[in-house]
Amino acid sequence: MVRNVGSTSDYYQTGTEIVVGGGTVSPVKVYATQGDPGEELKNVKSVSAGSYHSCAILLDGSVHCWGGNMYGGLGNGESGFFSYYVPVAVPLVSSVKEVALGDWHTCALQDDGEVYCWGYNNRGQLGIGDDVVENFNPTPTKVSGLTDEVKKVISITAGHQHTCALFDNGTVKCWGGDTDGALADSDNDDTDKYSPVYVLGMGSVESFSAGENFTCVLLTLDDQRAYCWGANDRGQLGNGGDPFGQIEGLDNAVSLDTGQSHACALLNGGTLMCWGSDNYGQTGDAGVQGQTEFDLSPVSVLNIEGVEQVTTGKIHSCALLLSGDVQCWGHDLEGQLGDGNGEGFALNKLVPSVPIVFVAD
């Protein structure tokens, strides 16, 4: 889940020493050091964003994070009411293949299948056990009860205050806040879990994504069914209200991503369908702000084709096209759409000449 990408420079998510007002409305370059100009951040393999911070995995498997660090979400052993303008190295993790960022917490998956988490732990989202009394931990700590001789973690995802891990046998474990059944465990009691628990009835999951208080999965390519569970006050389950039902119309989905209260799926053939909260046009179906509050079932995103990848922010969405262009739609008051305007909200804006922010040597 990616939220508010490059939109809240109050916490320096943009990773640049130059801050304009409360945010930036056009893409800015990320620097590894301060200065005028600073040294560019290079050798980056991938980048991920949470609500108030961002992290990059370098080609050597190390992790560097920047932005808000109130609860130690940057993982450098510090926390407090301050932010880092430029990336800081995260110790104690290596050979990292994936990172997942929530509101104020971060998790990293290593090549060996071990998962480490750090940051805010008020709901157990770090998965480090209920014997840890602190509500935050600024140092990476291994999540127990995951990889063993039978199965290995191959992917992770983080929601607002919960985290999930996908195993190579297609099963899923989650931990943290269980508001509205976001963990879908056997207890079914909305009780926060400080250690990983199995998601009930999931055994052939191909990919997944966690939203604020809900989670969605896409089953294996032989099956290609999609399911969501958890909160549904904005239609984010996409199935008309069934607490754990299949989402109709996504039989040929190849990937999906979740925002705060909406989700989007990329279909075979390069088209998109979205569902859930639409108060800012984030589902892309030309709904007018204030008239279409949410879509209970998937709707087609208009005026877009040839999509290669889709990602969702808190209340906006973006797509990478096969042509190399990027199109975004939804909330734009803080410049989330990257078109240089910040007009409030818009439908399917084309981001002009998006620069390559991270360059791998």
- The answer to whether 239 and 297 have CB atoms below 8 angstroms apart is yes
pTM: 0.86
- The answer to whether 274 and 264 have CB atoms below 8 angstroms apart is yes
- The answer to whether 276 and 262 have CB atoms below 8 angstroms apart is yes
Is residue 62 pLDDT above 50, yes or no? yes
DSSP 359: B
- What one-character-per-residue DSSP string does 38-55 give? PPBPBSEEEEEE-SSEEE
Position 82 scores a pLDDT of: 80
Q: Which of 66-80, 147-161, 278-292 bottoms out in mean pLDDT, i.e. has the lowest?
A: 278-292
* Burial zone of 225 (CB within 10 Å; 0-12 exposed, 13-18 middle, 19+ buried): middle
Position 330 scores a pLDDT of: 84
Is residue 79 pLDDT above 90, yes or no? no
Is residue 23 pLDDT above 70, yes or no? no
pLDDT band, very low/low/confident/very high, at 9 (cuts 50, 70, 90): very low
pLDDT band, very low/low/confident/very high, at 202 (cuts 50, 70, 90): confident
